[in-house]
Structure 1
Amino acid sequence: MVKKIGCEIMHYDCLIVDDEIPLAQSTAEYFNLFGVNSSAVFDADACIEFLKFNTVDLILLDINLGETSGFDLCQSLRKQTQIPILFISARQSDDDILLALHIGGDDYIRKPYSLNVLLAKVKVTLKRYGTKKIDFYEYQHLYIDYSAQKVSIHGQPIQLKSLEYKLLCYLIENRNKVVSKEDIFNHVWGDHFTSDGTLNVHIRHLREKIEEAPDSPTLIRTVWGIGYSFNEQSS
């Protein structure tokens, strides 16, 4: 189930994507008992929706997801993120394992699995990939606390909607580069079907919240016919 409190993005250590609902729920509950903040969804669409409103450090992904294959979901996710994806599946063939690793999976864990062994693998993976996290970003009057996922202007906290926050972070991640609308649709919204109008509204609202003069923006620049750029000038 997607969790959203107000307009704040929730952060999780682990997201379990598995159509075996009791198993997914019990695994998430077990992880939570041992300090790995986890949630579970049960199909590909729910996973995509979850990631619109939440961030995660690792995904446990089943291959069989009803009408959708975990392989297809993995390939879609790899267009947006490089966070670790560990496949969990009852399928035993070497071909499945090789395919899972070839398309971007970081490991393949066979069902039935031992919860304590799976937890150990998850903790090791989180530790390995978590060492390079950036805690904050600061430029001029803008400050972002990534760990708390909060944004401040001149030291005063502001409220960003979840997609506004993801949009801002993606532009900053690619600062001083021109980011095409297509890239923004894929990485922020997670699809190709978002309209230019929707993006324009989010850009306008974001500028109203972070720019000193929203009508003459200096941070988020429009590159006509292409997309946008977060402009960070060297002093």
Structure 2
Amino acid sequence: MKFDCLIVDDEMELAETTCEYFNLFDVHTAFVTSAEACREFLREHEVSLLLLDINLGGTSGFQLCKELRLTTSIPILFISARSSEDDVLIALDIGGDDYIHKPYTLRVLLAKVKAVLKRWSNEPIPEEDGGLLQAGPVQIDTKLRRATLNGEPLKLKTMEYKLLHYLVQHKNRVIPKEELFSGVWGDIFAGDGTLNVHIRHLREKIEVSPKEPQLICTVWGIGYAFEGE
């Protein structure tokens, strides 16, 4: 059986309430309360998106995410009452797509989940300019969905590729954060933390000196610009 969303949270009352709310609005959702129950559920069902708590009794949601990323690329959104920047960075670094703080508003969470599901069901990014985009040392083949740096292949995760594609496609102009949230994530509810981590990862892969970027430049208070002819 296929589900739109699986909630993994040891707070049973909250998980059940969220699940019921999602189903009311036609987001086919189930919930489990442990890591082992999650593993078993995923062996028997197809799931398009995971809402994952960090604290799962004796198991860490971080560890479960790392394990799942070995076999699946579905969106994983962390939901947690832990609010430290370190937790957010760890969640995104190990493969989480976003980090949502508890307590959350069901209406806003539903909108975010719907936006992510829509983004992941979209067709691939349209081809243009013969399928090739060039900016400085970076070239993107939109037909093959591959990027190179000085002719050498770049190993990019899905969202890193989408973000780099958008930056190169709109090179030499300032791109506001809100435009990146909408154009790359398809989600006006994406947060600064998510964007900042992906920008940092891209800089580590394409900049000569990531701490002194020459390609992906920060425009303070507005957004980013990719500089390159």
Q: With structure 1 as the length reference, what TM-score do the two structures score?
A: 0.52
**Is there any run of 5+ residues in structure 1 with no aligned partner, and where?**
1-9, 134-235
Aligned to 1:27: 18
Say which SS state the counterpart of residue 100 (structure 2) adopts.
strand
Matched, 1:90 2:81: yes
Matched, 1:55 2:41: no
Say which SS state the counterpart of residue 43 (structure 2) adopts.
helix
Aligned to 1:76: 67
1:43 deviation in Å? 0.5
> After the TM superposition, which parts of structure 1 deviate over 3 Å for at least 4 consecutive aligned residues?
none
Q: Deviations over 1:154-195 (max 9, x none)?
A: xxxxxxxxxxxxxxxxxxxxxxxxxxxxxxxxxxxxxxxxxx
Q: 2:91 aligns with which of 100, 104, 129?
A: 100
Say which SS state the counterpart of residue 46 (structure 2) adopts.
strand
Mapped partners of 1:93, 1:75: distance in 2 = 20
Mapped partners of 1:130, 1:14: distance in 2 = 13
Aligned to 1:125: 116
Q: Deviations over 1:61-101 (max 9, x none)?
A: 00000000000000000001000000000001000000000
Say which SS state the counterpart of residue 95 (structure 1) adopts.
helix
**Is there any run of 5+ residues in structure 2 with no aligned partner, and where?**
125-229
1:131 deviation in Å? 1.8
Identical columns (%) = 65
Mapped partners of 2:76, 2:123: distance in 1 = 17
Say which SS state the counterpart of residue 104 (structure 1) adopts.
coil
* Aligned residue identity for 1:127: K
CA root-mean-square deviation: 1.0
* Aligned residue identity for 2:103: P
How many residues of Structure 1 are paired with residues of Structure 2 in the alignment? 124
Mapped partners of 1:47, 1:132: distance in 2 = 29
Mapped partners of 2:123, 2:32: distance in 1 = 27
Mapped partners of 1:112, 1:20: distance in 2 = 12
1:105 deviation in Å? 0.2
Q: With structure 2 as the length reference, what TM-score do the two structures score?
A: 0.53
Mapped partners of 1:24, 1:130: distance in 2 = 25
Say which SS state the counterpart of residue 48 (structure 2) adopts.
strand
Mapped partners of 2:38, 2:24: distance in 1 = 22
